[in-house]
């Protein structure tokens, strides 16, 4: 065994102590640098692709629940009502219109004035349900054999309205023409007036008792007004 002087052993101990202290200091310095650096972050959701026209909805939803975010789809309302048998219910316009078979036609008395002859053409609801009339009727004077006398009547100015007829109620349209004795028009005496309700093809025949009507020449036009509630002005 080699004996080292006391001074040498003391010096070696001091060197080792300083080495340990230096290592600890270095470790503390490195630990401080790591914690002082800004932390790295990463998003867990990818951004939508460019040009996406729909806002992103929720990533997940609970089973049985509907999404309510901006991207949620809204169900459209039904467009038609179906009957119990599976057919489509008719619209109000087609189901409520008065048909020829539900009406009775008549011609009221003459109400002359200022060289004009004026007759109300009346439609009465004879059915058991409420129905409607809208617009102008059609009309034509005919002979006993059924041939038309004169041109079709013209429509007077006026805005069509919907007239609702409960069973037994009536609507009327004015039929007017210049007095042939004043106008000098060519005349004929019709056997009947054939009238057609608005939007219908079938007509109703009414006996004509109003005398001669203009069928040609000067002031021979006959006019019809829009339908209105009631039986006369």
Q: What is the pLDDT of residues 128-170, one digit of tens each?
A: 999 999 999 999 999 999 999 999 999 998 899 999 999 999 9
Q: pLDDT of 62-79, one tens digit each?
A: 433 333 344 444 333 333
pLDDT at 95: 56
Q: pLDDT of 92-132, one tens digit each?
A: 444 599 999 999 999 999 999 989 999 999 999 999 999 99
pLDDT at 233: 82
pLDDT at 105: 98
CATH topology for 96-229 is Immunoglobulin-like (2.60.40)
**CB neighbour list of residue 153: distance below 8 Å, 6 or more residues apart:** 139, 140, 175, 221, 222, 223, 224
Q: Sketch the domain layout of the chain as residue ranges.
A: 96-229
CA-to-CA distance for 23 and 59, rounded, in angstroms? Answer: 51
Q: Which residue has the tokens 């310095």?
A: 29
**CB neighbour list of residue 231: distance below 8 Å, 6 or more residues apart:** 108, 120, 122, 170, 172
What does the pLDDT average to over 42-49? Answer: 35
Q: What is the pTM of this model?
A: 0.60
Is 60 exceeded by the pLDDT of residue 39? Answer: no
Higher pLDDT, 70 or 206: 206
Is 50 exceeded by the pLDDT of residue 172? Answer: yes
CA-to-CA distance for 165 and 150, rounded, in angstroms? Answer: 32
């Amino acid at each position: 065994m080699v004996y080292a002087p006391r001074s040498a052993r003391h010096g070696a101990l001091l060197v080792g102590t300083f080495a340990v202290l230096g290592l600890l200091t270095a470790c503390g310095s490195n630990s401080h640098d790591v914690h002082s650096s800004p932390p790295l972050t990463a998003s867990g959701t990818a951004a939508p692709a460019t040009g996406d026209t729909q806002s992103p909805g929720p990533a997940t939803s609970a089973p049985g629940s509907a999404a309510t975010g901006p991207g949620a789809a809204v169900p459209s309302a039904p467009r038609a009502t179906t009957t119990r048998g599976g057919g489509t219910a008719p619209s109000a316009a087609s189901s409520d219109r008065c048909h020829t078979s539900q009406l009775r036609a008549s011609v009221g008395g003459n109400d002359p004035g200022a060289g004009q002859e004026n007759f109300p053409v009346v439609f009465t609801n004879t059915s058991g349900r409420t129905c409607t009339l809208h617009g102008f009727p059609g009309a034509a004077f005919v002979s006993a054999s059924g041939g038309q006398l004169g041109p079709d009547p013209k429509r007077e100015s006026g805005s069509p309205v919907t007239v609702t007829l409960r069973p037994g109620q009536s609507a009327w349209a004015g039929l007017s023409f210049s007095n042939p004795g004043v106008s000098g028009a060519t005349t004929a005496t019709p056997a009947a007036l054939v009238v057609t309700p608005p939007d219908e093809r079938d007509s109703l025949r009414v006996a004509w008792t109003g005398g001669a009507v203009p069928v040609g020449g000067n002031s021979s036009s006959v006019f019809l007004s829009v339908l209105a509630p009631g039986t006369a002005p």
